[in-house]
Structure 1
Amino acid sequence: MNSYANALTRGCFVAIVGLACGLAVWVGQARGEAAGTDTEKELIAILKSDAPKADKAMACKKLAVYGGAEAAAALAPLLDDPELNSWARIALEAIPDPAANKTLREAAGRLEGRVLIGVLNSIGVRRDSQAVEVLAKHLNGADSSAAAAAAAALGRIGTPDAASLLESVLNHSNPGVRNAAAEGIVLIAEQRLVSGEKGEAKGLYAGVRDADVPGQRRLEAIRGLILIGDDEGRQLFLSCLKSEDRDLFGIALATAREIKTPEIAEAIAADLTQRASAEMIASPQLTIVKAIYGAGNQWADVTDALAAMVRGGSLFVQASNGLAGDPAPGVVKELRLTYDLGNERKEVTLREGEGLQIGAELPPRDIRAVGLVETLGDIGGPVAVNAIQDVAAKGSWDVRAAAVRILGEIGDASVVPALLRAAQGGGVLAETAVESISQIRDNGTDAVLCDALETAKGADRVILLEAIGRRAVTAALPRVLDELKKSDASLRIAAIQTLGMIVDYGNLDALLDLAVQSDSAKEVDASIQALVTACGRMEERDGTAEKLVAAIRRAPSALRPRLAELLSTVPGPKALQVLRDLGLKGDDAVQDAVTRVLGEWMSADAAPVLLDLAKNGSPRYRVRALRGYIRIARQLEVPTDDRIAMCREALGAAARADEKRLILEVLVRYPTVLGLHLAADLVGDPELKNDAGTAAVTIADKLPADARAAIAEALNRVIQAGPGADVVERARQVLAK
């Protein structure tokens, strides 16, 4: 087991101890709160009777609260029973009277196998110092499982006699006994270390380290020797840190996370700098210029997707639907790619299924160096931050990626320049760097980004704009608005995307104007995406809806449907009113967009608008509107009476059998007397006779008995209508009930 698993094991041990302590507190509280409900004598009587074992188990549980010396004696025979052993021990572990200790000691002298191991564990839980002699017998016995349990109990007891006894069997001929003894000694050493008895703890740890015991025990002892913190411990830490043995290296990192001193951080930083510099690989920068995937006249732009996959000047790309779904179904597609590697531009075409490695393939991940970075991140402090900044600039790719990520967790505003430099490499590293900037907790970071925007140029400016957007730096709004006046297309797109995250209500028109007036398809797309984010942030929903209406009125006809869809980001009375008007009076494309948006509306207040469009809207979209109305009745939170009333309205607007069947499903899902009548009314329709009859019978079967008159009237109508024989038979069965 490596050191990380060791740390996990220790964590589990702590959790178990905490659980035991919590149980003890609960038992103590129960003892004080529940006096008089069941007496100890009554519970003991159950134990001595011929009562079922389940009753005896429950009595044991209650004796954990009420039991005393008499209960301890009565519980003793149950320890011999494999089915009741654990129940008896629950009580004995909790009973405060010393008689419980005596009962367990006596049982340990006569029992064998699993019931014995359970008793030995309970002795450890009670830390019975008088049990050392009894435990010694089992420690030297033939049963290695019992020996392990005895050793663990001695470790919990932790007296000098217990420690000496465990030390005496560290060289035992049985490996299992040696392992159990070492485990017990480590437990005692832990107690000594916590209580400040470092000298005694050191002797115990050293004994385990030098013994012929499993590696896990030796690692635990080495950890303890390092935690003592003297010169020998520091040298041991450095030795483990530089060791090529994975477990020793792991224990160094684990203990460093516990100690967290500047001295430890400096040692790790020195080793990290040496490793990261040795692994550094200089490679030309890879930039994805243009990438499209598809066939014929159906292509998807995957430039951004590939750019985000670049790792330190290296990229393996495969032409597949994973890049952009399936833009041209049913045909073999291709990837057309233009990229710059250093100063050289290349173009390549890959058929679907083909792959290409661009740039040098990265070496295997340096797990040790990454582990050092992550450990420094857990330690924190100026030493750690400085060391991580250093390798973020000059380490191998995977080390840089880890460093850039961690700087966002532990750094302050001072690390922003380092993260911005890391982002210049593009690809995954750039994405990680920008995300890290957004995670920095230091509020001074906002000012640093605003100041940097004053002088940055080109690609650096794009990175800054993205970071400002991720952090939602509203103070940068005037500067970002100024970017819209620049001629550089990439800067304008970056500024538009940032505005989506920081623009306020007063400046929302700037984004709307871009969407409406720009001649660039890319800018229009970016503006619409930014408006989705921006409108969703606005508190002035009705006012935002008004701004969207004004934009729709002045927008080119091709853009109006997309702007209409934005009304879903500001749900409320005004948005619904506008959507209703557009759905009734807009052109075909707008009506198409409106009915799609309303069909996915997530609140029931859209129901009247949908019903209006289903009755009075364009015939082309009435079915869609009606189905949206039925969806609200079926899925959203609506009072039952209103839901059934909606079904009645929907039936009045429905012209096709398909929609009427959907309404029947709602009536069945929410059975009422009115719903039963509505279903029965449809049995006269030849297209719906069987469906309506089935629905009516199902509803009737779910209604309470006090609706018998309505049930009889409706089901007789079903029978008279004569749907399928099976429906008629079911109707008669329900009537018979």
Structure 2
Amino acid sequence: MQKSKIINIALLVIGCFLLLTNTSTADLPEELQPLEKALAVISTYEYGRNSESLTELADFIRPAYGSPQRLKQIEKPLLAFLRSDATLAGKQFICKQLSIIGSEEAVPTLVVMLTETATSDMARYALERIPGSAVEQAFRQVLSKTSGKTKVGIINSLGRRRDVESAAALCSLIYDSEPMVAAAAVSALGRIAGAEATKALAEAKEQTSGKLRLLVLNAYLSCADQLVAQGERSGALAVYEQLYAAGEPVPVRIAALRGRVAAAPKKAGEIIVNVIEADDPVTQAAAIALVREVSGIGITKALAESLDKLSATGQVQLLSALADRGDRDALPAVVNAAKSTDENVRITALDALAALGDASSVNLLAQAASSARGAEQKTARRSLDRLRGPKIDQTIIASISQAEPKVKIELIRSISRRNIYTAVKTLLKTAKDSDSKVRLASFKALKTIADRKDLPALVNLLADVQSGSVRNEAEGTIVAVANKIPDRNRRAEVILAKLASVKEVTGRCSLLSVLGKIADDSSLPAIRTALKDKNVEVKSAAIRALSEWPTGQPVADLLKVVRTSRNETHRVLALRGVVRLVGLDSSRPEKETIKMYRQAMGLASNVSEKKMVLSGLANIKSYAALQMAAAYLEQKALQQEAGMAVIKIAEATYLSHPQRTRDILEKVLRFGKNDSLRKRAQEMINKIKSL
């Protein structure tokens, strides 16, 4: 065998010599002449310099990838280049090209470079990627003739190429005196695997220590993984069992556990359950993580049965994993866990019901949502909303009639969240429930699921509502449902029809409030009629309805109330409405808007009302508005509101009227007493000065 090795080395040296005598590119075919030119430039290339010649060469070679004959022609001058005195940077680039197109003919040249410190890495890079057994043979032949980093590199290359024939040599290097050589040998054996490597690593597991032993264990795991991939499950299982032994490092045991499950799929459930029930926190968590990945009949049931044997932490982890499996065989155990004395277990179980629950889970979740608080209540509600499967919606609806008020509220809330449109009839009944909170929840849900066809029933209900909070909710529901009607000019029809027949004051007030929020212009005559009603509350409701209008159309009606009403409350309400509505219509001529504010100011009977007008005026971005606000700076009772209005309006006028705006701001400094307003006025003046 020693004689054979000597002959092989001799042949290698002769091959290298022959190649070294054939360095000329003069005989290149004409179409390859550009290659010679590019190589001449690259021969002097240094790192960091212009790489245009490198790009040109790569572009020249790329079209030949599909032609073995052309690549062979290109390869020869590249090898000659490596044998020349070209720069190391140039040779590194050529080695990269050979890693792509190189053949076994490149091996002798690259082997020579492999033993030189300066070129070893680049040569090895190319060799690793060149196909053929000659490469492995070359690596094996020079392995014993190298040391240090060069030797480590060659060992790594043998590992990456999974060279089984090098296993014997590598096995002996596990115990090399050079730590990095030993570490590289161990890692390479893990990649190579096979019987010889596996046996050597099994022995090394018992004979090594420290960091090297950790590398041995990882390599041993790698061998087992490859055995699984090759279908040799029994051999792999034996290795995993050794590595799972107590006392081995935690990461190794966890990896071995995963390997045991992969190597024995039919026993996966049994393995996982045994580990879970062993109550070792570390391996238990790893086993539970595997629950999401394993499949098989009966596994879920076996896992669920072990649930009550675990600590609270273990139960939380397993419940989460069972939910991710999505197998409803676990449902009985999850339901039982939802009644646990531990809050975290209950919360996780309730969360799992979203994935595993069915119609039978509806009442449990509604009960939990009604009695729990905080995170537990939120989880129960979320799961009730997310339940999927046949008859869930029907069960929710059917459960309402027999439920106690707190549970009924949760079921109603879920109807809204789940958009159960078939529940409208049921909710119209619960909207008349004896419990006010049930009524309130019903109107909230109807806001979501009711449609225009349900408006008459909703309006009839509103007329009978007595509770203030419920009535407000009912009004909001009717407005929301009416706004679902595409034609905005028909949204008030049902309400107007009902208003004509309702005599009870509270009911009339609610209907007027609804008309104000719907803002259908066809309802304005009815609201104006209500302004003349003898009942004070009805008049107030009509004024509020007009004050909420989305356009300035009712301004004249409200000004008339301010001008003529003897009821101070009505005057204030109407004036507030005027201020709001005047500020809405931006299409109205500026003079008309200012005129309306002057009218409102003239009708204001006290300081509070005048302040209200000034606050509305502040939103008008015109010089006329600025002048009007400035007129009140000298009135002590209105100085602050007038000053605030001036500064706000000045932000919009200082560019178009810089000097006149500045003059008015100077008045704020003269008459103002508020330091903050004076400071803001001065800042604005400085801004104008800088223009």
The answer to whether TM tops 0.5 is: yes
Q: Quick one: distance in 1 between partners of 2:230 and 2:363? A: 46
Contact 1:561 1:594 in 2 (8 A): no
1:482 to 423, 429, 438: 429
In structure 2, the CA distance between the partners of 1:232 and 1:494, relative to structure 1 (3 Å rule), is closer
Determine the structure 2 residue equivalent to 1:415: 361
Contact 2:268 2:294 in 1 (8 A): no
The answer as to 2:192 corresponding to 1:157 is: yes
Contact 2:495 2:511 in 1 (8 A): no
> How many residues are treated as equivalent by the alignment?
504
Q: CA deviation at 1:41?
A: 6.9
Determine the structure 1 residue equivalent to 2:281: 246
Determine the structure 2 residue equivalent to 1:458: 405
What amino acid does structure 2 have at the position aligned with 1:386? P
Alignment of 1:622-641 (within 5 A): 624=619
Q: CA deviation at 1:405?
A: 0.5
In structure 2, the CA distance between the partners of 1:214 and 1:488, relative to structure 1 (3 Å rule), is closer
Structure 1 unaligned spans of 5+: 1-29, 277-365, 565-577, 599-608, 628-653, 665-681, 690-722, 728-737
The answer as to 2:173 corresponding to 1:180 is: no
Alignment of 1:377-456 (within 5 A): 377-428=323-374, 429-456=376-403
Q: CA deviation at 1:138?
A: 4.2
Which sits farther off after the overlay, 478-487 or 81-90?
81-90
Q: CA deviation at 1:220?
A: 2.3
Q: Quick one: distance in 1 between partners of 2:576 and 2:618? A: 16
In structure 2, the CA distance between the partners of 1:137 and 1:471, relative to structure 1 (3 Å rule), is same
Alignment of 1:286-297 (within 5 A): none
Q: CA deviation at 1:375?
A: 2.5
Alignment of 1:308-387 (within 5 A): 366-387=312-333
Q: CA deviation at 1:131?
A: 3.7
Question: In the TM superposition, what whole-angstrom CA distance separates every residue of 1:376-395 from its partner, at most 9, and x where no partner exists?
Answer: 22333232112111221345
Q: Quick one: distance in 1 between partners of 2:478 and 2:162? A: 67
Q: Quick one: distance in 2 between partners of 1:533 and 1:138? A: 81
Q: Quick one: distance in 1 between partners of 2:282 and 2:262? A: 17
Larger Cα-atom Rg: 2
Q: Quick one: distance in 1 between partners of 2:661 and 2:215? A: 79
Alignment of 1:548-567 (within 5 A): none
The answer as to 2:491 corresponding to 1:547 is: yes
In structure 2, the CA distance between the partners of 1:424 and 1:486, relative to structure 1 (3 Å rule), is closer
Q: Quick one: distance in 2 between partners of 1:172 and 1:148? A: 14
Q: Quick one: distance in 2 between partners of 1:40 and 1:444? A: 73
Q: Quick one: distance in 2 between partners of 1:92 and 1:557? A: 89
Q: Quick one: distance in 2 between partners of 1:86 and 1:68? A: 18
Q: Quick one: distance in 2 between partners of 1:110 and 1:614? A: 98
Determine the structure 2 residue equivalent to 1:301: none
Question: In the TM superposition, what whole-angstrom CA distance separates every residue of 1:320-343 from its partner, at most 9, and x where no partner exists?
Answer: xxxxxxxxxxxxxxxxxxxxxxxx
Counterpart secondary structure, 1:170: helix
Contact 1:72 1:103 in 2 (8 A): yes
In structure 2, the CA distance between the partners of 1:268 and 1:51, relative to structure 1 (3 Å rule), is same
Contact 1:31 1:66 in 2 (8 A): no
Question: In the TM superposition, what whole-angstrom CA distance separates every residue of 1:510-558 from its partner, at most 9, and x where no partner exists?
Answer: 668878995544235545776898799x5x6x43686389979986887
In structure 2, the CA distance between the partners of 1:389 and 1:725, relative to structure 1 (3 Å rule), is closer
Q: Quick one: distance in 1 between partners of 2:582 and 2:118? A: 67
Determine the structure 2 residue equivalent to 1:206: 241
Which has more strand, going by share of residues? 1
Structure 2 unaligned spans of 5+: 1-60, 500-508, 520-548, 559-573, 598-614, 623-646, 664-686
Q: CA deviation at 1:434?
A: 2.1
In structure 2, the CA distance between the partners of 1:266 and 1:140, relative to structure 1 (3 Å rule), is same
Q: Quick one: distance in 2 between partners of 1:67 and 1:726? A: 74
Q: Quick one: distance in 1 between partners of 2:662 and 2:118? A: 62
The answer as to 2:212 corresponding to 1:266 is: no
What amino acid does structure 2 have at the position aligned with 1:383? D
What amino acid does structure 1 have at the position aligned with 2:433? K
Q: CA deviation at 1:71?
A: 6.4
In structure 2, the CA distance between the partners of 1:110 and 1:510, relative to structure 1 (3 Å rule), is farther
Counterpart secondary structure, 2:207: coil
Q: Quick one: distance in 2 between partners of 1:489 and 1:189? A: 68
In structure 2, the CA distance between the partners of 1:517 and 1:186, relative to structure 1 (3 Å rule), is same
Q: CA deviation at 1:491?
A: 0.8
Contact 1:121 1:149 in 2 (8 A): yes
Q: Quick one: distance in 2 between partners of 1:271 and 1:559? A: 59
In structure 2, the CA distance between the partners of 1:488 and 1:118, relative to structure 1 (3 Å rule), is farther
The answer as to 2:658 corresponding to 1:658 is: no
Q: TM-score, normalised by structure 1?
A: 0.55
Q: Quick one: distance in 2 between partners of 1:615 and 1:137? A: 102
2:418 to 454, 471, 478: 471
Contact 2:277 2:309 in 1 (8 A): no
Q: CA deviation at 1:124?
A: 3.8
Counterpart secondary structure, 1:455: coil
Counterpart secondary structure, 2:491: helix
Determine the structure 1 residue equivalent to 2:290: 255
What amino acid does structure 1 have at the position aligned with 2:320? E
Q: Quick one: distance in 1 between partners of 2:620 and 2:493? A: 21
Q: Quick one: distance in 2 between partners of 1:532 and 1:51? A: 84
Counterpart secondary structure, 1:153: helix
Which sits farther off after the overlay, 151-160 or 226-235?
226-235
Identity over aligned pairs, percent: 23
Q: Quick one: distance in 1 between partners of 2:79 and 2:592? A: 81
What amino acid does structure 2 have at the position aligned with 1:446? D
Aligned-pair RMSD on alpha carbons?
A: 5.1
